[in-house]
Amino acid sequence: MTASRAVSCRTPLPAVSRWVRLAALVAWLAAPLPGWGQAEADAPDGAREVIVVGGDHYHPPYEFLDEDGEPAGYNVELTRAIAEVMGIEVRIELKPWSEVRRELEQGEIDILQGMSYSEARTAHFDFTPPHAIVHQSIFARRGDPVVEVEALHGKEVIVQRGDIMHDYLIEHDIGAVVIPVDTHADALRALAAGQHDYALVANLPALYLSRELGLTNLVPVARPFSLRYGYAVRQGDANLLAKFSEGLAILKNTGRHQAIYDRWLGPLEGREGIPWQKVGQVGAALSALLLLVLGAIVIWNRTLKRQVASRTEELRQHQQQLIQADKMASLGILVSGVAHEINNPSSLLLLNLPVLRDAYADAEPILEAHYRTHGDFRFGGLPYSRMREELPCMIDDMQEGTRRIKRIVGDLKDFARQGGDEQGESVDLNAVVGTAIRLVDSSIRKATRRFATHYAEDLPVIEGNAQRIEQVVINLVLNACQALQDPAQGIQLTTRHDSATGRVVLEVRDEGRGIEPDAMSRLTDPFFTTRRECGGTGLGLSVSAGIVREHHGTLTFASSPGEGTTVTLALPVPPQPPPAEAPSPPAPG
């Protein structure tokens, strides 16, 4: 009867839920309305029908009677909000659960504001789309063994009278000795006092009541069920079902339902495990932050273009500043801060996903045994026969995606960092090319469906500045992407060792539009560009040529209009010291 997370309109629901909502709305529109041929429930003139809404009198934090004897809780506030948006009048009556359930069956009340869905219950009740998801737990005294539902055979199990778990134990003939009580609190008190073996109750209210009542010797040992939780009417009451379904949909679409959920259940939800809702909120915030970064990059590009154009005469004196400005125009000056913010949730995912994977692996034999014994069942909202194949792959994909995010963030931080003039570090050209490709992966995927790399094995290391060489490779790849006119055209990167000239070579070949002959001699001139109308500054190749010269390398171009372009970057390999001669053996004495 409780929920551990709200079912928001932002969370995709199975297609069947949308059809249920549509069918309910159609039924409501088709039902006769007051003034269209009949009065509203024979109400007196000027009076509105009062809808009697039932609920459990002691089921905090969802529904309960407060210190003044007034209805309160998540379900109560949700009902009043639906009444407000639908313009209907309600009277909320909270009584023992078994009593309000019987009154609904007998027509003494109109609707229940919180009832868990099951196939068996649809024989007597109709349900709105869920406003929460139910988790049911097996509670035990601290130190007692962990059990699943099948292991309750022969055990004394306390349940709330008329609750979904009471129904389940009877319908499925588990073989447990069922001990019904009036409330969850009664079940927990009895268990804490050493009576009976286990309690099968709703997880979130049980955690709440254990804390409020000081029952510190109780712990949840299994959480075997996740159930939909929503409003319930007598079977066939389509008009009332449609009113509450529509009101609930309005609250979800306006965000009011989520606000009510967060106010009552948000502080407790994190106690149940990994806060997936918070993870989603962090992801949304990071997405918005990345959009701001992209906007900042566009603004910075335009500002940089105007600044550089006004300082043409100082280009040679400020070569180092232009190199850093070009880097910032490509990535944005906010990269370091954004990378820090992304690394925090990424590290959390990398820490928790292996635990989640191990937890599923531990639970898999139990799930398989249940599947073989009882057939298919719902698991995470989908059939277990499907989830057992997909869930491990989903977790692995999430873990690999998180690792990829962490690698990209690290590459961004390295590239954005201000580089010095040091040229003496050992550089692996294959590794530099790989890092550059990861940084511009999005641009590559937008430009072409045919991107290939061929790395030479045992490529000698060179001496230089890895960040600056990486900047050259990025500029060459981006130019190749911009030269393509159709995604069917390809780009190919090849590294090799030219032992004859003592150089390592990178070739970037594209199948794009090519370069006109009269432009070939000006490609590395500052501010020369054939793409000025598209925002080109003419600095990329000029800066790249300067970096290559600093490394005593060469940058050459071969192109024909309409046939693509090949750019060849060659960098010298430092001379290798001769191998040390082996010492001569000592002369015989």
Chunked mean pLDDT (size 10), the chain, 589 residues: 40 40 47 39 59 93 91 94 94 93 94 93 93 91 87 93 91 91 93 93 90 90 87 94 93 92 76 50 78 85 77 62 56 61 79 85 88 87 85 85 76 57 80 90 90 92 88 90 91 93 94 85 70 55 83 90 91 78 58
Q: What pLDDT shows up at residue 580?
A: 58
Q: What pLDDT shows up at residue 141?
A: 93
What are phi and psi for residue 15, nearest 5 degrees? -60, -35
Domain with CATH 3.40.190.10 in the chain: 5-35+47-273
Which residues, in sequence order, are bridge partners of residue 135? 226
Q: What pLDDT shows up at residue 27?
A: 45
d(CA 339, CA 332) in angstroms, rounded, equals 12
d(CA 547, CA 571) in angstroms, rounded, equals 11
Q: Is the dihedral of CA 349, 350, 355, 356 positive or negative?
A: positive
CB-count burial class (<10 Å; 0-12, 13-18, 19+) for 60: buried
Rounded to 10 degrees, what is the CA torsion of 166, 171, 172, 174? 50
Tokens of 167: 């129904």
Coil, strand or helix at 144: coil
d(CA 443, CA 586) in angstroms, rounded, equals 65
- CATH for 5-35+47-273, options being 2.130.10.10, 3.40.190.10, 3.40.228.10, 3.40.50.300: 3.40.190.10
In angstroms, what CA-CA distances link 393 with 226, 362, 376, 387, 389?
22, 16, 20, 10, 7
Buried-exposed string 382-394: b where 16+ CB fall within 10 A, e elsewhere:
eebeebeeebeee
Tokens of 493: 């990167």
Coil, strand or helix at 46: coil
d(CA 532, CA 265) in angstroms, rounded, equals 56
295 C-beta neighbours (distance < 10 Å), count: 11
State the pTM of this model.
0.42
Tokens of 84: 């407000």
Coil, strand or helix at 54: strand
Instruction: Report the run of H or E that residue 435 belongs to, with start and end.
Output: helix 429-439
Q: What pLDDT shows up at residue 40?
A: 42
CB-count burial class (<10 Å; 0-12, 13-18, 19+) for 257: buried
Range 425-572 has CATH code 3.30.565.10: yes
Tokens of 531: 């793409």
Domain with CATH 3.30.565.10 in the chain: 425-572
Give, as one character, the DSSP assignment of residue 411: H
Q: What pLDDT shows up at residue 23?
A: 46
d(CA 352, CA 274) in angstroms, rounded, equals 8
